[in-house]
Structure 1
Amino acid sequence: MASQDLSEMHDATWPPGTVALEDIQNLAQGVILQPPPTEDPNDPLNWSKPRKALNFFLASLYSLFTFVLLDIGTVIWGPLNTELGISYSNLNNSFATNCAGLAVGCIFIIPFAYKYGRRPVYLLSLIVQLASAIWMAKMKTTWEVLVVNIVAGLGGAVSETIVQMTVKDLFFVHQRATMNGLYLSMVIVGTFLAPVPAGYAAISQGWPWIWWWTAILLGITLVAFVFFFEETKYVPVLNGRSRSVSLGAEVDTKQVEESGRKEPSASETSQVDQVPERRQRSYRQRMALSHKTDAPIVRHFWQPFLVLVTFPAVAYTAICYGALLAWFSVLATTQSTYLLSPPYNFQATGVGLFSIAPFIGAVIGCVIGGPLNDWWILFMSKRNNGIFEPEYRLYLAIPTIILSPIGILTFGLGLAKGLPWIVLAVGSALYGLALTILSDVTLTYVTDCYQDIVGDALVAVTFVRNTLATIIVFALTPWINAIGLYNMFVCVACLSVAVNLLTIPMLIYGKRARAMTATKYRQMAMLQPDHRSFL
């Protein structure tokens, strides 16, 4: 559909995230592309399918090996304890320090993705992770285990946010849940399936080799990024000038507030048709190390915290997503500790093979939270005269209110009572299912609500997520010592229900909350050089 038709269908009073996805009066037009692409061939939304597929494949590969590095270490806790004399308490602490690195790294690194582009941030992250993997293969002491996990966490901290920014750059609203489902499928392979070969490698080649293989894979990925990953940051052009220049460091607040109450001016909307240079960039230009813009980045160091307390959708995503990782950390650390002891007596291979159970659940969750979610929002939009509301995605999160605690209780109480390992596996699979569905739904929901500040929003989400995991893991051993393994899992299940129930008020009041914060969102969006809110 032509851009002028889109503007006629869009009501300037709609809250952020509410867009027209279907023209009910003219079904032959098909799905309306949101956000509307420009006419510039360099706009990532205009890239060919193979070009998008290559870039997203590399981003997914990056996610896979990042989570391999972050999550296979628990498989070798037994050998590290017996060979290096590192206590299980310190191994537990190393998991927590890794989460701490993940929490703070995003705050300090993601702002540079706004200033210099996504590509240099990906490359820096891969270099740090490669160095971490090599160090892990050579570590011998407790302090090394603790410090290298912090470094690995810092290197992988941007993984969730930068990939979500890439999804926003490359894909339209009706495609994002599917792409997030594919991204999460790579995450779950790295989290749940990679421990299987890691366990066998630890037994057959020695525990350092799980890190040497990871270093090799990260090295290959780094080379692929250097030669094939294109920059997806795109700054629309307004009257012959990039938006980063025309906006500058300051924006008139009164002017932005007015823009939230009226249609964009002709000079704002005409930028789609006033692209002075429509020539395809050369390979050398596309592979440049940096794509610097003049917009300042200082605010991006503190703005995530402002976004967190200003927009309920961001706070909801941060709490739900954060709790999911916290409960996963509980399952992962107890699994790696207690399955080594009677009545299970697992070796590294057994601990690794156990991860197949949550992997199976997570694969099913990727289908429900991804392609089915995108089909669902199109179905709901048709019933709403073609108008899409981000809250439509939350309907698919309702089953997780029950699935998550059932999985936690089945695994946890079975472990506490020494039930057969298959009972634990069923519980772990159920939790993997709930984890992936709710992760996909919440991440896509916040992207749909606030696409132009999604980087800051996801930095806040990642910070909360990993901070909660750090606190829970550090407190886990004294918590179990105080009330016992059985009661600890009962508490975790109850907390899981309480957090997941937040989906209901968001489903009911989410649109109202977006409307109430619309002016503040537009103020922040106008400061982004690559925003598309007023195209």
Structure 2
Amino acid sequence: MEETHQTPCPEGKEMIHTHNEHATKTCGSYISEELKAYIVQRHGTLELDPLPSSLPQDPLNWPLWMKNMNLLMVAFHTMMATFTAAAIIPAYSVFAEKYGISVHQASYLTSVQILTMGIFPQIWSPIAARFGRRPIFLVSVLGACICNIGGCFCHTYATQMVTRILNTIFICPPLGIGSGVVTDIFFRHERAQKMGWWTLMTTIGTPLGPFLYGFLIQRAPYQWMFGIFAIINFCQFLGYLFFASETMGFRTPASSNSSSTSTSPAATIKDAKPASWTDSFKIRRINPAPFTLTSFLSYLNLALNPSVLVPAIAYALVFCYANIAIIVMMPIAVGEKFHLNAQGVGLQYIAIILGSILGEQVSGPASDWFLARYSARTGIRAAAQRLWLTYPGFATVVTGLVVWGVQLQNAKDGVWNVTPMVGAAIASFGNQIITTTLITYAVDNCPLRSSEVGLFINMFRQIWGFIGPFYIPLMFENLNFAATAGVYCAIIAVAGFTTYVAHPNTTPTTQCPTQRRGLKAEQSADAHQATTPKTKGVGDIAAESARAAMASPETQTPRGKDTTTATAIGHAVPTA
């Protein structure tokens, strides 16, 4: 294949054989023997993407239990954002009586939260980039706790609306920056599985809320709902305060003339300083960059990247019609047709929860396995190979919606029928496969902007989800259930076909539009200053070290752990 560098590298840089999507060679910073020894000792291989630093505080060097604990806290935080918005659905009739409004007006308490979740993560992201994610998460859950306490004492519809908006503003940060947390903590070969934890919690928060709170509203005053929210938020605050660690600021982006997905280590062994216990309670600025309008809107230029734009649109459509439409129509379609109370309606959400959980058991591990098999066979890590898993997902969603709509249409009034819920479970299964795969694919193509990718995708999902409830009930009212489900299936089929058409043309690249602009100029400057390297290339050194590590009993990966096939420094290719 064509090589991006035909001339020697500039002084201070050496040739790295980068077996990424384009199988190119690139110039990278020299990596010391001390750092290589640390990485091999800690991880058992140099074939990692991204390459960790030598700092024990670097999230990539954390023990697995610590990585999983931090990810689970962020994933649960994400679930609470959608959970609190949807949990009030069983209380619509209570709010209507309490505030003297219609049930339809009460539903706006949820709709406005959906819209807020689509807008305000963009505000939090630049702040997190300058002060770190952990302080933002602490402020987030503490603010949400206070707002939920206020919700217990609202006596008018307007004041309750204000508390719901403020609560969502505070609780929403991980909806946008959660993908950045996954990218900072985990290597690329395990990214889909771990990204799936975050996406699953985002998905099941919506049906889990009305499922659990249907029991509560049936038996206790609605104030208990907000009180439990506040208790959970305060427990989250304590969890972040004592157990969470910062995930930002340990690595610097690789040079823009690199095609690698890696980031360069920010420090070497000699730079490592043990952190004191009190450091975790200090809030300091980690990025001196000033706040500008561009810093709040820069994520929008991801629309120029089809490998982010196409997944964002396809995912938004599927999420709206295979998740939100079913959830919104559950009290109206299922509750009224089968004469169910709030508790009975809540039980129907079990189908969506189970379908989503089962879908995640397939999507994350299967995506990583598929990519690993392809990489082992070809030596190329092409993120586009993940997309093949979405097509069974689209087919499953269409099948589930057809079953749900047709069986609901044919069901007898007042006689409960499980078959529509089977269709809902099938649709949720496919929705989760599509969710994890498309988001991981988009992040793989812009790993240095993973948080912005999360913001971009979240914006499409939430805004489309906000618009949906305004016309979805009208469609079911004017058409029948089967016909409306057919329309949604057609829209989703178009989304799947668009993904398929764009698949060959969205050749995975690890450089987003803004990262590519200065590429040619920087390469020309490097070529002009080029000198012949006087030392062995880092790719050769890495290969020798990797072979020695694999041959040595002391550094061989223990049985039962992941092993890798040596291809190039900075890219792990798990052996299938």
Give TM-score, length-normalised by structure 2.
0.77
Cα deviation 1:234-270 (Å, max 9, x = unaligned): 2436xxxxx8xxx9xxxxxxx95xx258999xxx97x
C-alpha RMSD of matched pairs (Å): 3.3
CA distance in 1 between counterparts of 2:466 and 2:225 reads 24
* CA distance in structure 1 between the aligned counterparts of 2:20 and 2:402, rounded to whole angstroms: 47
Name the structure 2 match of 1:378: 372
**Residue from 329, 343, 352 that aligns with 1:358:** 352
| C-alpha contact (below 8 Å) 2:49/2:261 kept by paired residues | no
Taking structure 1 as reference, are residues 39 and 201 closer, same or farther at Cα in structure 2, changes over 3 Å only?
same
* Structure 1 partner of 2:226: 211
2:340: which partner in 1?
346
Contact map agreement 2:190 2:368 (CA 8 A) in 1: yes
Structure 1 segments (4+ residues) deviating >6 Å: 28-31, 261-264
Displacement, 1:217? 1.1
Q: 1:391 aligns with which of 368, 384, 391?
A: 384
1:445 aligns to 2:445 (yes or no): no
Per-residue deviation at 1:398?
0.8
Q: Secondary structure at the match of 1:508?
A: coil
Which SS does the other structure have where 1:138 is aligned? coil
Among 8, 31, 40, the residue aligned to 2:17:
8
Aligned counterpart, 1:496 = 492
Residue 298 (structure 2) aligns with: 303
Counterpart in 1 of 2:276? 282
Distance 1:207 1:389, change over 3 A: same
SS at match of 2:335: coil
Q: Name the counterpart of 1:134.
A: 149
Inter-CA distance 399–91: structure 2 relative to 1 (3 Å threshold): farther
Select which of 92, 107, 131 maps to 2:107: 92
Indicate conservation of the 8 Å contact 2:335/2:341, yes or no: yes
Q: 2:99–2:155: 8 Å Cα contact kept in structure 1?
A: yes
Q: Distance in 2 between matches of 1:485 and 1:361?
A: 21
Counterpart selection for 1:108 from 105, 118, 123: 123
Partner of 2:544: none
- Deviations 1:10-61 (CA, angstroms, capped at 9, x unpaired): 4796599xxxxxxxxxxx9779211111222222111222322332232233
8 Å CA contact 1:77–1:336 kept in 2: the answer is no
Contact 1:93 1:474 (C-alpha < 8 Å) held by counterparts = no
Instruction: Name the residue aligned to 1:173.
Output: 188
- The counterpart of 1:407, out of the listed 400, 403, 407, is 400
Q: Summarize the Cα distance change of 1:310–1:345 in structure 2 as closer, same or farther, 3 Å threshold.
A: same
- Alignment check: 8 A CA contact 1:325 1:466 kept: no
Q: Distance in 1 between matches of 2:194 and 2:261?
A: 31
Counterpart of 2:83, as a letter, is V
Aligned equivalents of 2:503 and 2:21: distance in 1?
Answer: 23
In terms of fraction of residues, the more helix-rich structure is 1
Secondary structure at 2:299 match in 1: helix
Q: 1:332 to 1:390 in 2, by over 3 A?
A: same
Residue identity opposite 1:329 in structure 2: I
Q: 1:15 to 1:393 in 2, by over 3 A?
A: farther
Per-residue CA distance 1:282-324 (angstroms, 9 max, x = gap): 22223422343113442221111111x2111111221122123
Query: Against the structure 1 CA distance between its residues 383 and 142, is the aligned structure 2 distance closer, same or farther, given a 3 Å change threshold?
Result: same
CA 1:56–1:261 in structure 2 vs 1: closer, same or farther (change >3 Å)? closer
**Are the counterparts in 2 of residues 120 and 290 from structure 1 also a CA contact under 8 Å?**
no
Q: 2:225 & 2:131 partners in 1: Cα distance?
A: 34
Give per-residue Cα distances to partners, 1:363-388, cap 9 Å, x unaligned. Answer: 11111111222222111211112x21
Q: Is the 8 A contact 1:400 1:500 kept in 2?
A: no
Question: CA separation of 1:79/1:148 partners in 2, compared to 1, >3 Å: closer, same or farther?
Answer: same
The one-letter amino acid paired with 2:62 is W
The answer to whether 1:422 aligns with 2:415 is: no
Q: Per the alignment, do residues 453 and 138 of structure 1 end up closer, same or farther by CA in structure 2, a change over 3 Å counting?
A: same
Contact persistence 1:15–1:514 (CA under 8 A): no
In structure 1, list runs of 5 or more residues that go unmatched. Answer: 17-27, 238-242, 248-254, 526-532
- CA change 1:381–1:225 in 2 (3 A) is same
Contact 1:39 1:273 in 2 (8 A): yes
Deviation at 1:134, TM superposition (A): 2.4
1:335 deviation in Å? 0.7
Which residue number corresponds to residue 318 of structure 1? 312
Name structure 2 gaps, 5 residues minimum. 1-12, 26-42, 520-568, 572-576
Tell me the secondary structure at the aligned position of residue 467 of structure 2. Answer: helix
- Contact kept? 1:78, 1:348, Cα under 8 Å: no
Measure how far apart 1:483 and its partner are. Answer: 4.3
Residue from 325, 332, 341 that aligns with 1:330 = 325
Counterpart of 2:389 in structure 1: which amino acid? Answer: L
Residue of 229, 239, 242 corresponding to 2:244: 229
Query: What is the letter of the counterpart of residue 138 of structure 1?
Result: F
CA contact (8 A) 2:17 2:24 kept: no
- Distance in 2 (CA, whole Å) between partners of 1:293 and 1:174 is 29
**Whole-Å separation in 2 of the counterparts to 1:107 and 1:144:** 25
> TM-score, normalised to structure 1's length?
0.82
- CA–CA distance in structure 1, aligned partners of residues 196 and 20 of structure 2: 31
User: Which range is displaced more, 225-234 or 157-166?
Assistant: 157-166
**Contact 2:299–2:452 (CA under 8 A) maintained in structure 1:** yes
Residues 378 and 261 of structure 1: is their aligned pair in 2 closer, same or farther, counting only changes over 3 Å?
Answer: closer
Contact 2:300 2:456 in 1 (8 A): yes
**What letter matches 2:307 in structure 1?**
A
Q: CA deviation at 1:112?
A: 0.8
Residues 162 and 312 (structure 1), Cα distance of their counterparts in 2 relative to 1, 3 Å cut: same
Task: Check whether the contact 1:180–1:440 (CA below 8 A) recurs between aligned residues.
Answer: yes
- Determine the C-alpha separation between the residues in 2 that align with 1:263 and 1:485: 46
Partner of 1:24: none
SS of the aligned residue for 2:386 comes to helix
